[in-house]
Amino acid sequence: MRNETQNAGTHCLMSFDKHLLQFRKARGLTQEQMAQLTGIHVNSIKVYESGKTQPSLDAFKRIVKTLAVSADELLFDEDERQPANELRLAFEAVSNMAEEDRQAVLSILEGMILKHQAKALLGTRKAS
């Protein structure tokens, strides 16, 4: 489990440098302009984009605000935060339902999520 978490985190961090570069260039900003707008030294911007290091949380927040993107957009690839195809199709079908039916589906879904979380919590307590 630990290796999976580490690998997932590494993949996420490997994407950050590419996404930072992509979004900065899409905004027509040079590294120097990005540094001025964020208040982060230009050398830090360069090492973030090279993937050699990651920004602090404060620096990350300034980058997100400057680029006007979500944290998810900088950290994850497009397909990493999307539901599976069969869920996408189901959600699409639900979105075409009448409001009352959508609310009923949402209530059922929330109930199932709570049930799953409770089972996981009880399973954790039994193992302790």
How does pLDDT run across 71-120, given as a tens digit for each residue? 988 988 877 767 777 888 888 899 999 999 999 999 999 999 999 999 88
How does pLDDT run across 54-65, given as a tens digit for each residue? 999 999 999 999
The H or E element spanning position 5 is helix 2-26
Q: What is the domain extent for residue 110?
A: 85-127
What are the phi and psi torsion angles at 2 (to 5°)?
A: -60, -45
Decide: pTM greater than 0.85. Answer: no
Here the tokens at position 91 are 């959600």
* DSSP state, residue 83: P
d(CA 17, CA 8): 15
Per the structure, the count of domains in the chain is 2
How does pLDDT run across 29-61, given as a tens digit for each residue? 999 999 999 999 999 999 999 999 999 999 999
pLDDT of residue 127: 58
Domain check: are 8 and 67 in the same one? yes
Domain check: are 71 and 102 in the same one? no
CATH number of the domain encompassing residue 74? 1.10.260.40
